Chain A
Amino acid sequence: MVGNKTFANVMMLKKLLVFTLIMFAFGFALVPFYEKFCEVTGINNLLQPDVQAKEIRVDENRWITVEFDANSRGLPWQFKPLQNNARIHPGEPVNVIYEITNNSDREINAQAIPSYSPRFLDKYLKKFECFCFTKQVLKPNETRQMPVQFVIEPGLPEDIHTVTISYTFFELPDGTAAAVKR
């Protein structure tokens, strides 16, 4: 009787331990699940090109100033847009050229992460081409010019007159997966 009870307890312990391990693994499984979920639902879509809408009405009555900002974080890179700002109409396609130079004598992988001000600009900003969609590899002392092509939709609230588009390059350590898996 006592032996039975101990046996039953140990069986229960084993089951619960296995369950605990499964839940520990589940915590890690949430990572790919989260990425897949964002990809399928199109949430958090910073790194994928948007499809060009056929007809975007250009609102010629409004002017918006777009400021371009470029940073590289802890990288021996020089990174700047060829123009600091642009005055455009909402709905008008814009082309900007950015230039990066690798000032070091080693090959560096890096990834640019965009950020916008105001924060909700991402709802109205459609990017068709961007160097931030893929990781960039620069050979020692290489210089490269890269275009960004985008449209700011006319739905942007009326009280916004200036927006900022900012890119920051982060180095990707060797061996870590590239940022852009998609």
Chain B
Amino acid sequence: MAAVHGDAHGHEHDDHHPSGIMRWITTTNHKDIGTMYLWFSFAMFMVGGTLAMGIRAELYQPGIQILEPELFNQFTTLHGLIMVFGAIMPAFVGFANWQVPMMIGAPDMAFARMNNWSFWLLPVAATLLVGSFFVPGGAAAGGWTFYPPLSTQGGLGVDLMIFSVHILGASSIMGSINIITTILNMRAPGMTLMKMPMFVWTWLITAYLLVLVMPVLAGVVTMLLTDRHFGTSFFNAAGGGDPVMFQHIFWFFGHPEVYIMILPSFGIVSEVIPTFSRKPLFGYSSMVYATASIAILSCVVWAHHMFTAGMPTVGQLFFMYATMLIAVPTAVKVFNWTATMWRGSMSFETPMLFSIGFIFLFVIGGFSGVICAIVPIDIQVQDTYYVIAHFHYVLVSGSLFALFAGAYYWIPKWTGRMYNETLGKWHFWLSMFFFNLTFFVQHFLGLAGMPRRIPDYNLQFADFNMISSLGAFGFGLTQLLFLYIMISCIRSGDKAPQKPWDGATTLEWTHLPTPAPYHSFEKPPIVK
């Protein structure tokens, strides 16, 4: 037991890595790469957030004020792409880089050099994506799902987007291959699969989903590219293709992608809640099985995104029932988290607040999802703000809140310093208030029929849009507070003890000093 603490010293000989910028460019250390992933995704979060501010500023009042319709369409498209592929997904990979090796007692990721490569592809892809605003014709403007024929007709911006998606896909695939191999091959002795922390389990399943569907996305954007430039007609009706087929292939990727963005946050929440309830996770094995179940089911429900694209009743009913059945394993998880808190000696530090906020708001998003799954309702609310409200409840108060919870939870271990608890709580309550102010009213807008991706709207929608925009500005500003909390924690936070959370039980808290040494677990710990 005590021997593992010796890891922090005695390795000076291989510690003379380059300093300055070269350290970060050449690093193969999972902690460095994790840090870079997290900063990159935060930068992208800021870029995507700025686009969102632009969208909400335009929608503050009816009429066209700030953004021309073409630019507005570019904003909505790039907001979606950047948030999904640039912010949420890399942030989770960053968490995996930091936490997976420490949680399973491995010294590093399995393929350290590939890890470096998969990170450095991201800035390239991000440059292509953001740079496409400045090419003639502007960025892609056909929505983040880039349906043809709009995406086969767009200008250079669409090509840049296609390349960017290719690169991001390659990066994710390499990242997930690395994570799978690390989890399956590099565990410390005694760390059986069924002893792994929930976060590791959810990432293992997510990584499998990624290698399953990311290549399909790469395939479909390749078809788009050949349709645009090499005279094929996969999606061109005149040449015998079918634009609806694009939607089927895209959503075969797209629906599992939704779960790729939520499963790791289930994992983070499943670490945080037991810690602050000071009880083991209720129904650990059920949680593992439910995660696997969600992953499998997520592959047979894709067409619920396209109920209005034209489909026989048999198909509509099939996808409707299958979608509603996914609610079962998801509900199992929610009940397990609640049961974990039941009669625990709970305390409400910032990570716990974000986790409870996650459960509360994710359940709302889940329920509006079941409502959208019902075909007759979906035909009504398709492409309205109701759908926008639904998926922001799942992705912002789901994925993003869980990311915040994880950041506050692990930042003492990463930096050796505590964040400011008071400011953290402010961050939570302001986020909670402004998030609901922004998105709850969008349910009403959607039910009243306000279409998405339109820069102007009817006067009847004016009040709710103004409320929503005010909420969005507040939410955006609140995230600057998060940046401030993190920077002041890194620079001048109080020293953190080895285990600042007394309920924590995973290896990084029990077996490693704080801050985590640059090389940890070079001698594997013995897990009982």
A30 neighbours in B (Cβ, 8 Å): 216, 245, 248-249, 252
Beyond A25-B219, A31-B249, 6 additional contacts (C-beta under 8 Å) are A23-B213, A30-B249, A35-B242, A170-B237, A176-B231, A179-B238
Grouping DSSP codes into helix (H, G, I), strand (E, B) and loop, the B interface class, with mixed when no group exceeds half, is: helix
> Is A57 in the interface zone, CB < 8 Å from B?
no
Taken together as a complex, chains A and B put the C-alpha atoms of A28 and B378 apart, in Å, by 29
Verify A73–B238 contact, CB threshold 8 A.
yes
> Is B185 in the interface zone, CB < 8 Å from A?
yes
> Is A13 in the interface zone, CB < 8 Å from B?
yes
Taken together as a complex, chains A and B put the C-alpha atoms of A8 and B181 apart, in Å, by 9
> Is B111 in the interface zone, CB < 8 Å from A?
yes
| Contact with A27, one of B177, B218, B232 (Cβ below 8 angstroms) | B218
Q: Nearest-CB distance from B176 to chain A (Å)?
A: 8
Verify A27–B219 contact, CB threshold 8 A.
yes
Enumerate the 10 nearest inter-chain pairs by beta-carbon distance, A residue then B residue, closest first: A27-B219, A170-B238, A179-B240, A23-B215, A24-B215, A27-B216, A16-B177, A12-B181, A9-B110, A34-B245
Closest residue of chain A to B110 (Cβ to Cβ) is: A9
A residues 90-149 touching B (CB-CB < 8 Å): 111, 113
Taken together as a complex, chains A and B put the C-alpha atoms of A16 and B312 apart, in Å, by 37
| Contact with A28, one of B110, B186, B219, B238 (Cβ below 8 angstroms) | B219
Closest residue of chain A to B176 (Cβ to Cβ) is: A16
Q: Nearest-CB distance from A25 to chain B (Å)?
A: 8
Verify B312–A41 contact, CB threshold 8 A.
yes
B residues 217-260 touching A (CB-CB < 8 Å): 217-220, 223, 231-234, 237-240, 242, 244-245, 248-249, 252
A-B contact pairs, 9 of them (CB 8 A): A9-B110, A9-B186, A13-B181, A23-B211, A23-B212, A30-B245, A30-B252, A38-B242, A170-B239
Verify A19–B238 contact, CB threshold 8 A.
no
Taken together as a complex, chains A and B put the C-alpha atoms of A28 and B245 apart, in Å, by 11
> Is B173 in the interface zone, CB < 8 Å from A?
yes
Verify B215–A179 contact, CB threshold 8 A.
no
Verify B181–A16 contact, CB threshold 8 A.
yes
Closest residue of chain B to A21 (Cβ to Cβ) is: B215
> Is A63 in the interface zone, CB < 8 Å from B?
no
Given contacts A27-B249, A30-B252, contact A178 B186 (CB under 8 A): no
B: residues with CB less than 8 A from A are 110-111, 173, 177, 180-181, 184-186, 211-220, 223, 231-234, 237-240, 242, 244-245, 248-249, 252, 310, 312
Closest residue of chain A to B180 (Cβ to Cβ) is: A16
Closest residue of chain B to A44 (Cβ to Cβ) is: B242
A residues 1-55 touching B (CB-CB < 8 Å): 5, 8-9, 12-13, 16-17, 19-21, 23-28, 30-31, 34-35, 38, 41, 43-44
| Contact with B220, one of A27, A41, A73, A178 (Cβ below 8 angstroms) | A27
Q: Nearest-CB distance from B162 to chain A (Å)?
A: 14
B181 neighbours in A (Cβ, 8 Å): 9, 12-13, 16
Verify A31–B245 contact, CB threshold 8 A.
yes
A5 neighbours in B (Cβ, 8 Å): 185-186
Q: Nearest-CB distance from A14 to chain B (Å)?
A: 10
| Contact with B231, one of A41, A173, A179 (Cβ below 8 angstroms) | A173
Verify A180–B215 contact, CB threshold 8 A.
no
A168 neighbours in B (Cβ, 8 Å): 238
Taken together as a complex, chains A and B put the C-alpha atoms of A23 and B172 apart, in Å, by 14
Verify B238–A23 contact, CB threshold 8 A.
no
Closest residue of chain A to B232 (Cβ to Cβ) is: A176
B213 neighbours in A (Cβ, 8 Å): 23
Taken together as a complex, chains A and B put the C-alpha atoms of A41 and B232 apart, in Å, by 25
Taken together as a complex, chains A and B put the C-alpha atoms of A179 and B236 apart, in Å, by 10
Verify B216–A24 contact, CB threshold 8 A.
yes
B245 neighbours in A (Cβ, 8 Å): 30-31, 34
> Is A165 in the interface zone, CB < 8 Å from B?
no
Taken together as a complex, chains A and B put the C-alpha atoms of A20 and B234 apart, in Å, by 22
Taken together as a complex, chains A and B put the C-alpha atoms of A176 and B239 apart, in Å, by 8
Given contacts A13-B111, A26-B216, A173-B231, contact A19 B242 (CB under 8 A): no
Given contacts A9-B181, A19-B211, contact A180 B240 (CB under 8 A): yes
A41 neighbours in B (Cβ, 8 Å): 312
- Quick one: CB contact mask for A148-182 with B, threshold 8 Å, 1 for yes? 00000000000000000000101111011111110
Verify A179–B239 contact, CB threshold 8 A.
yes
Taken together as a complex, chains A and B put the C-alpha atoms of A28 and B173 apart, in Å, by 18
A173 neighbours in B (Cβ, 8 Å): 231, 239
Taken together as a complex, chains A and B put the C-alpha atoms of A23 and B186 apart, in Å, by 26
Verify B215–A20 contact, CB threshold 8 A.
yes
A175 neighbours in B (Cβ, 8 Å): 231
